[in-house]
Structure 1
Amino acid sequence: MELPFLTVVIPCWNEARFIEGFLDSVLGNTYPADRMEVLLVDGMSADGTREIARHHAIRDPRLRLIDNPGHSKPAALNRGIRVAKGDVIIRLDVHAEYPPDYLERCVRALVENPGADNVGGVRLSRARDDTLLGRAIAHSTTSVFGAGNSKYRTGAAGPQWVDTVFGGCYRRSVFERIGLFDEHLTRAQDREFNQRLRRAGGQILLVPEITCTYYARSDFREFCSWTVEAGYWPFKASRSVGRWIGSWRNVVPMGFVLSVATGAALSPVSRTARRATAGVLCAYAISALAFSMRTARQQRDPGLMLALPAVFLTTHVLYGAGSIRALLERQR
């Protein structure tokens, strides 16, 4: 079977630390060299990223550097899609590591499943810095307790239809049918696009045999800032586009924060509120400890029993706070 021509679109901005190894892995993959192009859409990086990319482009004409003033990620994706030559378009993230056959596996899965409009795999998670906190943050993003029913994070027993995947390998016809990514959304543009695709009758296939490794944030302040934004954007984006684009997993942290805050406020005057709040907190603590102990045992990393509960709590409180902020914020 002759594989279709593939365009790889990579949004990028100030990635000098990662870009060289990343480009080596993408250009050294098993996909037929004469059947692919790689578009690095750069937000006018000022840290040496562009110079590294130019040197790679000289050695390998498959790589093209495309300017993206303003470094907006959805704008980068759209710029790449507009000039893409491929019948299949795949989006990659610089902060991830892809096995040599990743592109070929994604495209073959798309070709072999005619009902699929978008195909993706499971995103494994690894700490950028090998510290206890870094490992705890990375494992929290792949835990059911930390990530809910997000199958591309937690994994699946076999191929299944899902609401979204990491990155995505799309038929070009999808963009011709439903349009491009919403450039008003600084984040959550993938989620919005995939939800729009499903509303139009499209289907998204998760194939767990396809994997990549994402390097999760290890700095605590950076992690906290990212988590607040992660909770904010599903609700902000939903208000912007006028429809709900999230899942129940996006609502749970907000419910947890609101229930505890309400219970704490009523506790001085209500025994029922005190008992209910204590019950919620006890159930949460038991669940967090149970998932932490299981992960620590699986990873043979005893320190996770102490670090993971704190990371889980931080994640859920900050995510919920971000969601509440989005709902209370005045629309512009």
Structure 2
Amino acid sequence: MELPFLSVVVPCWNEARFIAGFLDSVLAGTYPPDRMEILVADGMSDDGTRAVLRRYAARDARVQLLDNPGRSKPAGLNRAVRRARGEVILRLDVHADYPPDYLERCVRGLLDHPEADNVGGIRISRARDDTVLGRAIAASTTSVFGAGNSRYRTGADRPQWVDTVFGGCYRRDVFDRIGLFDEKLTRAQDREFNQRLRAAGGSILLLPDITCTYYARSDLREFCSWTYEAGYWPFKASRLVGRWIGSWRNLVPMGFVLTVAAGAALSPVSRTARRVTGTVLGGYAAAACTFAARLARRHRDPALAAALPAVFLATHVIYGAASVRAVLEPGGGTR
């Protein structure tokens, strides 16, 4: 059976470090060259990314550079989707490497499961920089303690119906049925789109035999900024679109931060508050150390046992504080 024409859509901005490797991994794949196109919507990069894209586009007709002057990720995605000629649209991220059969597996997964509107696989996290902190950040995103029940991060041993996947391989008619990505959302546009798809009766399937390697942020400042945005946007986006688009896993860090903050405020005047706060923090420390030890054994990296508890704590505190701000911000905020 001939594979359908595939449009790969990619938002991009200042990715000189990764764009060549990304394009090499996609272009070297097993998907028939005459049955695909790669539409890269670039936010007017000024770090050399555009020169790389022009070079690839000049030598391979599959690669097309689209201008995205506003730099907005959903706007870039929408430009690419509007230009796309494919019967199937696959959304990819530059910060990842894809095995040769990745595109083909995604499309065949969609064809083999006609009840699915979107399929995706497991995202294996690797550190961008091989430091203890970098490895700990990458490992934390694969743990239930660090990532909740996000199966595309923590893994699965069988196909599962889920609320979202990394990237996503969509039937073209999905965009005709429910529209494009919401351009009000600087972040969380994939989450909102998938929630809208499910609300319209669509379904999202995680296939564990589809895998890619994602390069997690290794720099402390970038990690903290990314975590803050990750905690802020599910709540901000929900206020902007007028409905809840998150999951219970988004609520847990906020509950932890509020519980500890309330306990700390009441502890000077309440023995019960001191006991409850101590119990919560003690239980948290025990859980963090347990999951850290498990990940250190799995990765055969003893240093993770010491670094991961701090990374877990930073993740949950920053994420939870950002969520609180998004909820309390007057008028939904303008961030």
Normalised by the size of structure 1, how large is the TM-score?
0.99
Match of 1:274 in 2: 274
Structure 2 gap segments, 5+ residues each: none
For the residues of structure 1 that align with 2:273 and 2:51, how far apart are their CA atoms?
60
Q: How does 1:1-332 map to 2 (within 5 A)?
A: 1-331=1-331
Q: Quote the offset at 1:225 in angstroms.
A: 1.0
The amino acid of 1:14's aligned partner reads N
Q: Quote the offset at 1:204 in angstroms.
A: 0.2
For the residues of structure 1 that align with 2:21 and 2:296, how far apart are their CA atoms?
30
For the residues of structure 2 that align with 1:27 and 1:304, how far apart are their CA atoms?
35
Equivalent position SS for 1:283: helix
Q: Quote the offset at 1:300 in angstroms.
A: 1.1
Q: Quote the offset at 1:46 in angstroms.
A: 1.1
For the residues of structure 2 that align with 1:263 and 1:99, how far apart are their CA atoms?
49
For the residues of structure 1 that align with 2:269 and 2:24, how far apart are their CA atoms?
63
Structure 1 gap segments, 5+ residues each: none
For the residues of structure 2 that align with 1:116 and 1:289, how far apart are their CA atoms?
39
For the residues of structure 2 that align with 1:22 and 1:156, how far apart are their CA atoms?
25
For the residues of structure 2 that align with 1:123 and 1:188, how far apart are their CA atoms?
17
Q: Deviations along 1:181-223, whole A, 9 cap, x unmatched?
A: 0000000000000000000000000001100111000011110
For the residues of structure 1 that align with 2:317 and 2:228, how far apart are their CA atoms?
9
The amino acid of 1:181's aligned partner reads F
The amino acid of 1:301's aligned partner reads D
Equivalent position SS for 2:268: coil
For the residues of structure 1 that align with 2:46 and 2:194, how far apart are their CA atoms?
32
Structure 1 runs, 4 residues or longer, greater than 2 Å off: none
Q: Quote the offset at 1:75 in angstroms.
A: 0.3
Q: Deviations along 1:134-166, whole A, 9 cap, x unmatched?
A: 000000011000000000000111001000000
Q: Deviations along 1:52-73, whole A, 9 cap, x unmatched?
A: 1111111111111111101110
Q: Quote the offset at 1:24 in angstroms.
A: 1.2
Q: Quote the offset at 1:99 in angstroms.
A: 0.5
Q: Quote the offset at 1:271 in angstroms.
A: 0.7
For the residues of structure 1 that align with 2:222 and 2:7, how far apart are their CA atoms?
32
Q: Quote the offset at 1:51 in angstroms.
A: 1.1
For the residues of structure 2 that align with 1:37 and 1:24, how far apart are their CA atoms?
14
Q: Quote the offset at 1:270 in angstroms.
A: 0.7
For the residues of structure 2 that align with 1:97 and 1:26, how far apart are their CA atoms?
8
Cα RMSD, aligned residues only: 0.6
Indicate the larger mover: 313-322 or 297-306. 297-306
The amino acid of 2:188's aligned partner reads A
For the residues of structure 2 that align with 1:96 and 1:49, how far apart are their CA atoms?
16
